[in-house]
Structure formats: C-alpha cells, structure tokens
Amino acid sequence: MANISDVAKLANVSVATVSRYLNNSGYVGKKSRAQIEEAIKQLNYTPSEVARTLTTKQSDLIGLIIPDINNPFFPELARAVEDTAFRHGYTVILCNSDEDIEKEQHYIKALSKKYVAGLILTTILDQDNYSNNLSIPIVALDRPLNVNIPTVTTDNEKGAKIGTQYLIENGVSNILCISGPKSVTSTNLRLKGFFKAVEGNNVEIHMVESKHDFQTAEQLTYETLQAHPEIDGIFAFSDASAIGALKAAHRLGLKVPEQLQIVGFDGIQMGKVVTPSLTTVAQDIYKLGERATQILIEQIEGKSTNSFSEQIEPQLLIRETTKERGPL
C-alpha cells in the first residue's frame, strides 16, 4: 500500500508539499499540484484519515451522546442524526450514557480528545449544572440547556398541556401523572404544562417519578392503581412509561380505555403496534435530529446559524387508549 512518501517520490516533490496539498493548508504550485495528482492516480493512494486528523485537529466525525439506548425514542432520534450526517459527508459516533453523569462526562472528554468535528448532546444534566468548556461546536438536542449553545427541542410545556387537557375533555377526573427524572429540564417543563392543564378543573391528581423505561413505569403504575383504584386516567411523560402503564392495567384486569384512559409523550413507532394502540403527544423525532445535525454542521463549516434555540411543535395523535373527544 502506497504512503505519502511514495507519492512525494513519484511526484518529485517534498513530503511537506504533498501534505499541504492533501490538507489544503498552504500554497502548492500549479506544476507540483499536477504532479501530485498524477502520482496519487498512478499509486491509487488513499490519504490516511488518522494522519489527516492529527495534522488538522479535526475530522469528519460527529459525536452523539444519548442517555438511554433502551428507550425507543433515542434510537429513532439517532437514526435521524445519522441519516443527516451521512448526507453531508460526516460519520456519527454513538455513545450511551445510561443516565449516568460520570459516564456522560467521560464520553464528552473522550470524544473531544478524538478530534471529533462537533458534538450533539442529549444530556441528563439540568440547566443549572451544565457548563460548556469545550472548544468544539456543540448542539443540545431534546433536552434544553441554559448555556450559550444552540438547542433543538420540542415545546415540552405545550405538549404536556395538550395531552392532559385531552384526558380531562374525555371525562377523566382522577389522573395519575408519571413524570420523568426531575433532574432533567424537559421533565420540569412538562410538569408545568401538566399543572396548567389541571388548574381550575375539578380533578384529583397523583404523582410518581419514573425512569423512561417499561419495567419501572409498569411496577410504579401497578402499585399506584392498587392503592388508588379510583384513578381513571394516566398521563405519562414518555411513551415507554405509558406502555409500561398499559401493561400494569392489563395485569390488574382494567379495560383500556373504558375504565382507564392513557396518554403518552414522544410518538415512537412502538406506540402504533401495541394493543390497544397508544394515544400520545408526538414529537417530530426525525425533524429534531435532522435540525440539530444541520445546525451543528453549519457551525463546523463556519456558516452562520440563525437560531440558537428552536422549538418544534408537538402533535396529539389520538389512538385507542383514549375515548373519543368529549365537549370542549
């Protein structure tokens, strides 16, 4: 396999000249450029990305850190990031933090040392505990950060308000709210929307905090429904939690939606295939990942970005875990 020295020798130029040509980092005369191009063609030479990265301190790699690969929302989000990055000539390195702060920080440091061109971060930290001291471009995705970096999120407060209002409009008078971890900014925004929706309505509420996974939500819901059989509606802050709640209802012999109505939040594909299919506040998952990647690449390539904070509108998808809409 040919190397840079072989190219320099055949082109009758110095190794430094070939390096400048490959990295587009300095002047290379017209004659020398032609000789290098001919040598590369004859030798079928492919530049080493490792060597190029060490020279330029930048690569075509983008780091993506997500908090929980088991939550179907995040693989769908990662797919959108990967598709968009690929279209622009970038490769994505995926890291799963397992909702662990130390693991997240380890990946941030490791990726920055590997000369990634930029980083997309779905952090488990809240706004007040995050500080950006990296020199590479960063975009926050799904979970907003109160720092001077671009952010792409869903309007979480509005989404939670829509989902809760829909339950109330359908006659629910005793609601179980399955929130997410309160250390995450999006959870607190969804809590705001939930409480705005129940305010002024004659509704009893019960609150449990759950990780966004099936098993935890199922067990918490099972225990809560046993203790409070009067609950006739559930609003969950993720579809994973809502599906866990649906399983708990099945274990207890409750009919959905006749006895218990359930609304989730996310809009994952799995919500279509469970029985009964899940009514949910759908995020535009693909658009979230696509926009975050586009904004990051604009930063990497030195283009101006018009927005430091983009909110994408949620949409209520009415399926089979709720009754028909009641009077407004």
Pairing mode, strands 151-154 and 309-312: parallel
Examine the domain organization and report whether 294 and 256 are in the same domain: no
Examine the pLDDT at 130 and tell me if it is beyond 70: no
Structural domain range at position 49: 4-56
Going by C-alpha positions, the residue among 93, 160, 153, 90 that lies closest to residue 123 is 153
Q: Which two tokens stand for residue 37?
A: 């191009």
In-domain check, residue 228: yes
Q: Are 65 and 123 in contact (CB under 8 A)?
A: yes
Q: Kindly list the strands in the beta sheet with 204-209, ordered across the sheet, starting from the edge strand earlier in the chain.
A: 204-209, 174-179, 233-236, 261-266, 279-282, 315-317
Q: Predicted confidence band at 4 (pLDDT cuts at 50, 70, 90)?
A: confident
Q: Which two tokens stand for residue 54?
A: 């060490």
Omega before 276 cis (within 30°)? yes
Examine the domain organization and report whether 28 and 127 are in the same domain: no
Rounded to the nearest 10°, the torsion over CA 97, 99, 101, 102 is: -50
Q: What average pLDDT does the structure give for the chain?
A: 89
In-domain check, residue 318: no
Examine the domain organization and report whether 261 and 199 are in the same domain: yes
Examine the domain organization and report whether 150 and 87 are in the same domain: yes
In-domain check, residue 327: no
Examine the domain organization and report whether 164 and 257 are in the same domain: yes
Examine the domain organization and report whether 172 and 237 are in the same domain: yes
pLDDT one-digit tens code per residue, 185-204: 899 999 999 999 999 999 99
Examine the domain organization and report whether 226 and 138 are in the same domain: no
Q: Predicted confidence band at 126 (pLDDT cuts at 50, 70, 90)?
A: low
In-domain check, residue 28: yes
Q: Which two tokens stand for residue 60?
A: 């075509």
Q: Are 178 and 168 in contact (CB under 8 A)?
A: no
What phi, psi does 318 have (nearest 5°)? -90, 120
In-domain check, residue 162: yes
In-domain check, residue 129: yes
Phi-psi region of 304 (alpha: psi -120 to 50; beta: other; left: phi over 0): beta
pLDDT value at position 131?
Answer: 54
Structurally, the chain folds into a number of domains equal to 3
